[in-house]
Structure 1
Amino acid sequence: MNKWNVQCSNHDPYIYYAFQAVEVTNDVNLWAEKETNGLIKEILSPGSVNNLTRLIFANALYFKGAWNQPFDPSKTKYYDFHIHNGSSVKVPFMTSKKDQFIRAFDGFKVLCIPYEQGGDKRRFSMYFFLPNAKDGLSLCHSKVKVGDFRIPRFNVSFGLETSNMLKELGVVSPFSRGSLTKMVDYPNQDLYISHIFH
């Protein structure tokens, strides 16, 4: 019997299940971290698993792109990064003097940095909106010289619960009681999807 099928004893069921939910959440997050080589450390946030949770379906997918023109790590230097509240912090900036895809607009510029093309011929790029003002904002078509070009080193991550979005798109069947009963051999349960976390 695995740890999330254990029945409650005479102890307080809420405390027992709370401990169990934390343990299951940690197990799933450790699995995601291992499968993504440390890039995704958390799929399930605290409180996303509770005593009503019977099954967790999980997969791991991440985008690992290389810049078409890689930045030279030896040119990474610390500069001021200006925060919207008027303060600044010193952060490492990736630096290049190569021509870039950039277009100027009134009050800001848009910078396009292409990723290296993969084997399936699709092309991906990252776009940066660069305000002229230090306190924020009041598409790229041609490559131009920009002189000393710097962007801070960064990681991008986000989490999203998408069940309501899917329901609005008309995907409602998996969220109905009993919709997964034939798919999963789990006796005496009206299994259905309650949450989808990305």
Structure 2
Amino acid sequence: MTPQVKATAREMRRRQTRERILGAAIAEFKRSGMTGADVNAIVAAAGVAHGTFFFHFPSKEHVLLELERSEEAGIAAAFAEYLEDPHGLPDALTEVVGLVTALERRLGPLLFKELLALHFSPTRPTKDDWSDHPVIVLLVDEIERARGDGHVHPEVDAFYSATFFLLGIYGVLTTTDSADTRATMLANLIATAVRGLEIR
């Protein structure tokens, strides 16, 4: 076996181990939250030694950070695909709400809240610029496109509008449990955002 083939096989095993640890950690986080998650339970479920966890992830926060990046990339890909078809700005905002609420359903309310807490934490392991977050970038571009089409007021700040809209979704989902109340609040959030953006 050549050194290159050995290196490739070793890298493949490393990636597979990392994925097993990540999957076991996410399952544990869903049950107990990140803070309450037991690394011993994670490594037992992944079938690896205790030190192997920390070789791949310096802390539990780094697991959550990887989950955030993966989920955000998936949402961005789905949103970008949606935007390829004809649509209006209200429809695009409705699609974002649907994608974020689907994320909460996939992760469960506890893990979803912890993901958001890490996203906005001053002790976040890595510091990002807003342009590192593809969902915000796509939403800003969508608001700019609607402005170019004459549907958004020229003085609207697309970045702040996109950010406040996303924060509104997160706020509703993390503070409201009733499905009916949530639906009403999210519909009002979309309507309010559209009224604030439109040319009168």
TM-score by length of 2: 0.24
Higher strand proportion (structure 1 or 2): 1
TM-score by length of 1: 0.24
* Higher-Rg member (1/2): 1
Higher helix proportion (structure 1 or 2): 2
